[in-house]
Structure 1
């Protein structure tokens, strides 16, 4: 691997012409501040590769999160000199030159007699991290991107914020009347947008090739529920910049070149979006797993791109993205128009319309309202399958709907995009096929991946419950809520913990994926607390 001492991520993001129905272009914002932040794989090259492939640490994320004790150039020079010795000990070299990631000691222990609600409230300080400052001396923070205000991490192996996790964590903060903490987190995300032009997957340099499901507009809307709607005006420039990121390259698309980065032109002349990653290398935090997967493949770069795009989706990984519906090796994420992503972008367009209306810019407000309607119509055209009576991702390369039934179908209900008839049909399938003793299963197939059966995840329960409520399917929504809450409380009573995901079928410990089930856990806590507060 060639050593790269630095890289410049994004120099500018220009807003392209957005709508075939209007010559008016949305107002552009100034280019994001340039920031040069290399990931650990780029900083340490051969050393990073050797540490990961020789499995010095069981979890690839550990070394990606280590902090160098000296400037990278000095460590590399020492490595090149030392590694040729017969008695060279790589593990000892790493221990000498890097500080391992440390979870701050909280002094917190779960109390057997404590209610789940009080446990969740007591966890907020445990999961809160202070605003970051670079350490004196080397000036290094490893791969951590400093944030200007305190933030909440998910828990377990995750010592940084994660984009879409944070929205569901905020639901619990809202239920706990912790609005200043929500404001801090929204401000941190706005800071990331203004610095990089988008919100990275998390505040790590190795996430700078990708984002995650775009929940920022929902976060701003959540904040505005407790404050004046005019709060939109404060975040309007950041909302605009995020939209620019997702739509970058739209004006360059043609029938011969229908996709660029995250935007796709379909045959009918409409534009929808896909998940993508700007890099085509192994993920530093899962380096050995990605390299192992790419062995004996003809095109590892394409595989890495699909893997990274799957990570941007948040569903890492799921049969949603597999060509054969079974094996990760067949992943082809960037070929799909995901139904959930495009529903989230409808909300972003609607929020921009509201923001420009509040600003008094009626032309921009009208334009974004048109764009939201165009996207909604396109979702119904390309993602609704009348024969199967369900919403699916759309494979724009194969020009056909995906085969995998998944809980992403709840997003058109959550965003009020589905027709009443479609919502009723989706509800019937959720009840018949997805509803299990512990809640809703993520898909209907078992692949060993964590975003497939039998696992259930808090964010998807919330989206489904709220989506069904939007269409007056209250009985089913309440049953899902009861099953999910009961399972959360059962596990808490047995273990004293909230966990990242649950086996909703056998109600055993959830498994699957690249790492063990994690406890903590931000979005589980947030959704459960919000649901408990309804009672």
Structure 2
């Protein structure tokens, strides 16, 4: 590991420990002065202020009480998730709960209680841990937890052979060789339980014990996954590995006999939810491949037990044509954050006050996870008022949906149970299940089938109607045979509907396959991703339809998807030689979206490909196209040694940053990347908090009185009258001290407020200068308050304050009132910049309110947010006089004309405005490489070298110019940032001009005219 200069652990803790409870922040600032710290009480920030026990919700993992305290809920899980990414290099929540214990669970829990002096769990506040305690937490994890990736024992399946006989059906030589390579991957995915586990429950793992070898899905999924296993089994059968498939069936039977159902995966934290019930289909396919009637007799009662679970625990009654009928839905038995996604689940509901409302959302999340479609717009109530981001996970309504695919699975299971019972000679049971199938088939048709569209849809309990949108689930009834199989036109009519959808909005004509949906929601089970299970069920449904034309379509789709995966596998870049969890329909690259990165070496993709290669082997062929060009970042291997203290953490982060710097410098010539340590130390979530401009363009109220380009009746003019270089500081040197002020916004998405306040401060100074008045940079009244802007600007839904906003809302505020603040180096003026907590809904100030009493009722409280030095300087131990605040606000100039430009190629007019009146506010899209733009070389000009966007950022433009880089003259904007003087060119940077780099010339330009 590289050596870096020593840095104070206390400094690093202060740098990183910005996400504290307000009580900690206030105590640090004021001590125990009750004048400024009102009675807040202690809040457990690690769970957003709620105590799970107080919700009256049953706890998970009851069968493993000692392990539950570590892996399922409790302070250890909370502490590691709250502090883990900083001190433990934790990849994600799942990585921690997959790590094995090095001691018995009871000893680990007792050791935690001893180290942190825990006498009562509910009194231990994770978020108030000191830097010394965080160091102890790191040591505790290091001493008590092993390697997640090394917990299982490697295993070569007994029935694996290098050249399965079925592969002889594959005529294309390249595909035949590829099948052999894919077949080798079964050895990598086959595992056995650790030696220190047994069926009596003696274990130091979150794993659920299995008697037989099993297959992990791959990537972050270091355990069996229920419905993934079905498609892996299809591939295993293609590889002739029927004994491995039998072990799979036996393992699932163990789960059912133990829990009543098959958990979603082989971990104890999955014990409150299942996944789509494919075991009956799995046994059916195993029997079709082997004719093993003895095993069939043995497992049939277990298959019934699983179906009974769904009938008892996941059924729901609804009226169809006036008759009450029974159907099935996903409805997990938990209302707690998922252990494997603990941080995401807690973060999602942080703005919701009611604990029971949080629990409802967690229930919907777990239920969506049970569906296997985690997540998709299928389960989300669309927010019609939000045009940019209408598919929010907060609006999940999984339990209000009756899903067509689950009910088609139950329907198909009834039919297959009838067939399997007949094979073992139990005619009574066969007739019983055939009758169930016939009844349910009719019910199914009456609820889910849209005759006018000739396709099936989900049913929405809330609206009482079908959700008439295409999803891959719409084709599942064709796969499960939950339709009148004597109607040979069913598949053709369904396909006709898909062709019609394709004409309206591309669906089946994508070059690499059929996407999971036609909605781009940013979730993984939506466009543009092709999800292998949906692809397989569509193709198999068409193939078995007994319609020659549809059988040809099945071959066409199989050819398309197999070719896409082969080309990706052949890529010479990072995505090559691997099998991916999902690919994109429009690009043929590894999929995207969802709550985790796309996973590789994925079992269901391998299984389905092998199934297709054997099934269509005589007809599939490859063209000579090259591999897909892609740049896919590899998952970092689990570190052999985890950081012990914060100094170790620092060293790891800087080593990682150095690798990124080297990659950036190789990729472009315009600027030289370097490491700015305060940014390198931030976690990804913390860095995103710096970016205070939402990617949605329209988030604010519609009544903003800002003038546009059209309102000004101006057109883009040429640049003949414009100089090659210009700097506001040089034209108005008397204002240079104010213009050059460099803010440090802190871990807060306040850039929109800071940039706007700074721009207005410059323009006030320049406007005063034009009238012969000079401004003193040390006078608070020379600086517009960014804090005031942050607190009092109108807040759009879910945004505002440190959560981010747009500068146009700040300039809309400046039309009404302005207040002085600070130049970021002194604490003067009525609203110095002190990033802290802000009121959830700040009251709008009224400048016409003059009486003291009315003022107090309208203003948001400031006592908890201001800094000690300012209070002592201004008022000593007196109460804060509201009248002085009001008078200062009245004395500051307001803006009579506020302007918003959102137009491409407006470079020349931006330059003219800067020349005439001073700085302007701009926002741009910030890419990942921007955090490394810190080399203090004024000849460097930024251009993004990666397509990995982090969010939006607001800055102040103060001039322009051009530099020669190599043999090329490159134009640039001169910009003031808000990340402190140590970053970039003493807090500033240059970015390419005239090419709309990062949308800086087209996204949003704002400014105004102050009246002085």
TM band (smaller chain): 0.7 to 0.9
What is the distance in 2 between the residues matched to 1:367 and 1:106? 44
Residue 320 (structure 1) aligns with: 378
Three-state SS of the structure 2 residue aligned to 1:99 is coil
Map 1:96-495; keep pairs closer than 5 Å.
Answer: 96-103=143-150, 115-135=177-197, 139-228=202-291, 230=293, 231-248=295-312, 261-267=313-319, 268-297=323-352, 298=354, 299-324=357-382, 326-358=391-423, 360-418=425-483, 419-431=487-499, 432=502, 433-435=506-508, 436-471=510-545, 472=547, 473-494=550-571, 495=576
Q: Alpha-carbon deviation of 1:425?
A: 2.9
Shift in alpha-carbon separation, 1:86–1:316, aligned structure 2, 3 A: closer
Residue 513 (str. 1) matches residue 594 (str. 2): yes
Is the contact between residue 8 and residue 35 of structure 1 (CA under 8 Å) also seen in structure 2? Answer: no
Give RMSD over aligned pairs: 2.7
CA contact (8 A) 2:155 2:187 kept: no
3-state SS of the aligned residue for 2:148?
A: coil
Corresponding residue SS for 1:401? strand
Shift, 1:175, TM fit? 0.8
CA 1:93–1:470: 2 relative to 1, 3 Å = same
Could you tell me which of 92, 97, 121 is aligned with 1:59?
A: 92
| Separation in 2, partners of 1:454, 1:8 | 35
Give the one of 57, 60, 71 matched to 2:104.
71
Range that drifts further, 410-419 or 454-463? 410-419
User: Alignment partner for residue 79 of structure 2, among 42, 50, 53?
Assistant: 50
For 1:88-103, list aligned pairs within 5 A. 88=133, 89=135, 90-103=137-150
Deviates more, 1:473-482 or 1:490-499: 473-482
Q: Which residue of 1 aligns with 2:650?
A: none
Aligned pair in 2 of structure 1 residues 58, 527: CA closer, same or farther (>3 Å)?
same
Contact 1:343/1:412, CA 8 A, preserved across alignment: yes
Matches of 1:216 and 1:107 in 2, distance apart?
23
Structure 2, unpaired ranges of 5+: 1-50, 118-129, 157-173, 383-389, 618-1012
Q: Is the 8 A contact 1:212 1:312 kept in 2?
A: yes
Map Cα deviations across residues 326-384 of structure 1 (whole Å, 9 max, x no partner). 22221111111111111111122123323444555544332221211222222211111
Q: Which residue of 2 aligns with 1:31?
A: none
C-alpha deviation, 1:193, in angstroms: 0.9
Supply the distance in 1 between the matched residues of 2:197 and 2:259 (Cα, whole angstroms): 22
Q: Which residue matches 1:24?
A: none
Checking the alignment, whether the CA contact within 8 Å between 2:331 and 2:370 is kept in structure 1 is yes
Question: What is the distance in 2 between the residues matched to 1:271 and 1:166?
Answer: 28
Comparing 216-225 and 53-62, the one that deviates more: 53-62
Of residues 223-232 and 496-505 in structure 1, the stretch that sits farther from structure 2 once superposed is: 223-232
CA gap of 1:479–1:382, structure 2 versus 1, over 3 A, is same
Cα offset for 1:80? 2.8
CA distance in 2 between partners of 1:37 and 1:394 (Å):
41
What are the Cα deviations for residues 4-23 of structure 1, in whole angstroms up to 9, with x where unaligned?
9x97879xxxxxxxxxxxxx
d(CA) in 2 for partners of 1:434 and 1:401? 20
User: Does the Cα contact within 8 Å between 2:365 and 2:396 map onto a contact in 1?
Assistant: yes
- Distance in 2 separating the partners of 1:37 and 1:504: 46
Give the direction of change, closer, same or farther, for the CA distance of 1:183–1:36 in structure 2 (3 Å limit).
farther
Determine if contact 1:356/1:364 at 8 Å carries over to the other structure.
yes
Moved more, 142-151 or 231-240: 231-240
Corresponding residue SS for 2:407 = helix
Which range moved further: 378-387 or 234-243?
378-387
Among 596, 611, 625, which residue is 1:530 paired with? Answer: 611
Give the secondary-structure state (helix, strand or coil) at the position aligned to 1:67. coil
Change (3 A) 1:281 1:107: closer
Higher-Rg structure is 2
- Cα-to-partner distance string for 1:89-124 (whole Å, 9 max, x where unaligned): 12222111111312469799xxx9993211111111
Cα distance change on mapping 1:384 and 1:134 into 2, 3 Å? same
CA shift at 1:470, angstroms?
2.4
CA distance, structure 2, for counterparts of residue 367 and residue 37 of structure 1 = 44
Q: Distance in 1 between matches of 2:456 and 2:337?
A: 32
Among 500, 503, 520, the residue aligned to 2:581: 500
Give the 3 Å change call, closer, same or farther, for CA 460–44 of structure 1 in structure 2: closer
> Structure 1 444/75 Cα, relative in aligned 2: closer, same or farther at 3 Å?
same
Structure-2-length-normalised TM-score: 0.47
TM normalised by structure 1 equals 0.86
Q: Is the 8 A contact 2:231 2:533 kept in 1?
A: yes
Give 1 or 2: higher helix fraction: 1
* Residues 71 and 97 in structure 2, CA contact (< 8 A), matched pair in contact too: no
Q: Distance in 1 between matches of 2:345 and 2:521?
A: 18
The SS at the match of 2:516 is coil
Q: Which moved more, 1:455-464 or 1:349-358?
A: 349-358
Distance in 2 (CA, whole Å) between partners of 1:529 and 1:125 is 15
How far does the alpha carbon of each residue in 1:212-240 deviate from its partner, in whole angstroms, 9 at most, with x for none? 00100011011101222624322111101
Distance (whole Å) between structure 2 residues aligned to residue 264 and residue 2 of structure 1: 28
> Residue deviations 1:416-465, cap 9 Å, x none?
22354443232124342422111110000111111100001211111000
Q: 1:101 to 1:442 in 2, by over 3 A?
A: same
The 1-side partners of 2:438 and 2:72 are apart by 45
CA contact (8 A) 1:62 1:100 kept: no
**Separation in structure 2 between the aligned mates of residue 43 and residue 529 of structure 1, nearest angstrom:** 37
Q: Is the 8 A contact 1:44 1:76 kept in 2?
A: no
Alpha-carbon spacing, 1:186–1:446, altered in 2? closer, same or farther (3 Å): same
Count of residues in correspondence between the two structures: 495
Distance 1:530-1:86 versus aligned 2 partners, 3 A rule: closer
Q: Does the Cα contact within 8 Å between 2:61 and 2:268 map onto a contact in 1? A: no
CA distance in 2, matches of 1:221, 1:105: 29
What CA distance in whole angstroms lies between the structure 2 residues aligned with 1:37 and 1:362?
A: 47
Say which SS state the counterpart of residue 601 (structure 2) adopts. Answer: coil
Check conservation: 1:9, 1:208, Cα contact below 8 A.
yes
Cα distance change, pair 277–126 in 1 and its aligned pair in 2 (3 A) = same
Question: Where do 5+ consecutive residues of structure 1 fail to align?
Answer: 11-33, 249-260
SS of the residue corresponding to residue 316 of structure 2 reads strand
Q: Contact 1:132/1:146 (CA < 8 Å) preserved in 2?
A: no
How far has the Cα of 1:74 moved from its partner?
2.6
2-structure distance, mates of 1:283, 1:296: 18
How far apart are residue 75 of structure 1 and its match? 2.2
